[in-house]
Structure 1
């Protein structure tokens, strides 16, 4: 069973740790310097979204952040990749209010395939990420 709880500032260090593990397992295209920079920027992003931490019966397995109908972030612990938790999270978020948009790194092939299975399609592409880094972003809609 998946348990959703609003995240608080006290959760931020644990969420950043989970993000770092998730990125290490899924974002091999990010440079180490960019990973470190993003980790320090992450708490500022947390403050701008509806941040939810997700747990199974035993431990934290991920977190999500949304703004309106846009999924801004979804990160899972590497040991639960491919176990259906991402789909369950999307389903629960859709039940609250349907998600219509999400951005994904073009180089993150697993995430692109995951979001395609959730019904998202590419609407447009930007050659740089939001911070001007050389990581193309795909803007997905459904």
Structure 2
């Protein structure tokens, strides 16, 4: 296992991993949202964020984390590798005081994961960033 910085050539694999993970964990998202978001993740979000890749010994990605300043924008683990500590290792890699993350309320597994890691709920929005009725829980890493 290794964690390394994303390179542009990773983007197709990371976008495919994102899609597999979203399909396994975001059952509230309609198919047209996933299809609409896929090229945005691949072509806009990944290149514009600070992305770290958790890589298997065969150099295939098993997960990634993307941050922007003090906020986790994306943390996705390939469903075949969930529950193996990859998410924790990726968070450890980027952890800093007052790190923030937004979690869809309809994704209780992710919310529980972040609570277990040491984040706390700080507020809630009834709508997501695109104004849709997907409530978001705003979280912050507790001070040590």
Answer whether TM exceeds 0.5 for this pair. Answer: yes
Q: Does 1:133 align with 2:101?
A: no
Contact 1:72 1:102 in 2 (8 A): yes
In structure 1, the residue matched to 2:80 is 79
Q: Separation in 2 of the partners of 1:55 and 1:72?
A: 19
1:122 corresponds to which residue?
121
Residue in 2 that maps onto 1:64 = 65
The alignment partner of 2:48 has SS state of coil
Q: In the TM superposition, what is the alpha-carbon distance from 1:70 to its structure 2 partner? A: 1.2
Runs of 4+ deviating beyond 3 Å: none
1:7 aligned residue:
6
Q: Deviations over 1:67-120 (max 9, x none)?
A: 1221111000001111111111111222xx446101111100110000001111
Residue 49 of structure 1 is matched in structure 2 by 49
Q: Contact 2:52–2:90 at 8 Å: present in 1 too?
A: no
**What residue is the counterpart of 1:24 in the other structure?**
23
Unaligned 5+ runs, structure 1 = none
- Aligned-residue Cα RMSD (Å) equals 1.4
Instruction: Measure, in 2, the Cα distance between the counterparts of 1:47 and 1:56.
Output: 22
Q: Which residue of 1 aligns with 2:35?
A: 36
Confirm whether residue 90 of structure 1 aligns to residue 91 of structure 2.
yes
Q: Does the 8 Å CA contact 2:64/2:90 hold for their aligned counterparts?
A: no
TM-score normalised to structure 1 length: 0.90
Deviates more, 1:3-12 or 1:118-127: 3-12
Unaligned runs of 5+ in 2: none
Contact persistence 1:103–1:137 (CA under 8 A): yes
- TM-score w.r.t. length of structure 2: 0.89
